[in-house]
Amino acid sequence: MTLQERRSWTFLVVVVVAYAGYVIWVVRAADGGPIADVAYQKPLLISMGASMLAAIVIEILLAIIKPVSTRKDMRDEEIGRLGDYTGYSFVVIGGIAALLMSMAEWDWFWISNTIYLGFVISAVIGSLTKAALYVKGMP
Q: What are the tens digits of pLDDT across the range 90-108? A: 999 999 999 999 999 999 9
Residue 120 sits at the vertex; the CA angle it makes with 23 and 138, to the nearest 5 degrees, is 145
pTM (2 d.p.): 0.88
Asked if 102 contacts 82 with a C-beta cutoff of 8 angstroms, the reply is no
Q: HEC string of 8-31?
A: HHHHHHHHHHHHHHHHHHHHHHHC
128 pLDDT band, cuts 50/70/90, is very high
pLDDT of residue 2: 81
- C-alpha 55/C-alpha 45 separation (Å) is 15
Q: What is the pLDDT of residues 11-66, one digit of tens each?
A: 999 999 999 999 999 999 999 899 999 999 999 999 999 999 999 999 999 999 98
Q: Indicate the SS3 state at residue 70.
A: coil
Asked if 8 contacts 83 with a C-beta cutoff of 8 angstroms, the reply is yes
**Region for residue 30 given its phi and psi (left: phi exceeds 0; alpha: psi -120 to 50; beta: otherwise):** alpha
Asked if 110 contacts 101 with a C-beta cutoff of 8 angstroms, the reply is yes
- Average pLDDT of the segment spanning 111-130: 95
pLDDT of 123 over the 80 cut: yes
- C-alpha 9/C-alpha 134 separation (Å) is 11
